[in-house]
A and B are shown apart, each in its own frame.
Chain A
Amino acid sequence: GAVVSQHPSRVICKSGTSVKIECRSLDFQATTMFWYRQFPKQSLMLMATSNEGSKATYEQGVEKDKFLINHASLTLSTLTVTSAHPEDSSFYICSATGDGNQPQHFGDGTRLSIL
């Protein structure tokens, strides 16, 4: 149980393109979803916390107009990197959790490369 599917797994695109990443909880209702960014040999860096039906809460230094998050249902959240530039290249990972003090269940990440 507790499977999270993240799609696509890899994106390579030109500078200026907007990229949408989907995160789905397949067998449970995710009241909260998290979006992380991870650089090589670095820890997970939380970008934003998303609760179903409400606006995402962004961490300090993360531009909300650059990284658009939509959590329209209890099983789906999307992250859109708008007008992506080479410095946005990174490994983006989502996680989902249910009610209470439940662990986070992660997708397999999206490797984004902006040329």
Chain B
Amino acid sequence: SQKIEQNSEALNIQEGKTATLTCNYTNYSPAYLQWYRQDPGRGPVFLLLIRENEKEKRKERLKVTFDTTLKQSLFHITASQPADSATYLCALDNAGNNRKLIWGLGTSLAVNP
């Protein structure tokens, strides 16, 4: 069956460290994968999109990798800050299916001062 899985446990890290979040999928062949941030009671905010032919993408302190062989994406936040505390969602396209995204459950990140 088709599945998309993120770290089920909440992640607690110390300010200044690098946070690494994982997104694994099975039985999909996405053309691209996206990462979003969601704060409580708010809608998700788009962060990064990485295509199947890209290994890595960076934006300021954020870095995303995409390994289509392992069927995995890693999301890194370097020099983490308490303001980075949120839930991070990964989503991938269900190729050819009306552009809708398949969403992971999200990983809750807490950055402690």
Contacts and interface: CB of A to CB of B under 8 A. Distances in A.
Size range of the chain B interface in the assembly: 20 to 34
Given A44-B89, A103-B49, A104-B46, A109 B41 contact: yes
Contact of A49 (B32, B43, B51, B100): B100
Interface in A37-60: 42-44, 46, 49, 57
Which of A43, A93, A106 has the most B CB atoms < 10 Å from its CB?
Answer: A43
B84 interface: no
Given A44-B89, A101-B32, A101-B93, A107 B99 contact: no
> What is the interface of chain A mostly: helix, strand, loop, or mixed?
strand
A28 to B, nearest CB: 13
Interface in A63-115: 91, 93, 95, 97, 101, 103-109, 111
B49 A109 contact: no
A57 B41 CA distance: 26
B103 A44 contact: yes
Given A42-B105, A44-B103, A49-B100, A106 B44 contact: yes
A34 B99 CA distance: 10
A103 B99 contact: no
Contacts of B93: 101
B97 to A, nearest CB: 9
A57 B98 contact: yes
Contacts of B105: 42-43
B79 interface: no
Contact of A103 (B46, B100, B103, B104): B46
A111 B100 contact: no
Interface of B: 31-32, 34, 36, 41-46, 49, 51, 89, 93, 98-101, 103-106
Interface of A: 2, 4, 6, 32, 34, 42-44, 46, 49, 57, 91, 93, 95, 97, 101, 103-109, 111
14 contacts: A6-B43, A34-B100, A43-B106, A44-B44, A44-B89, A49-B98, A49-B99, A57-B98, A104-B34, A104-B46, A106-B36, A108-B43, A109-B42, A111-B41
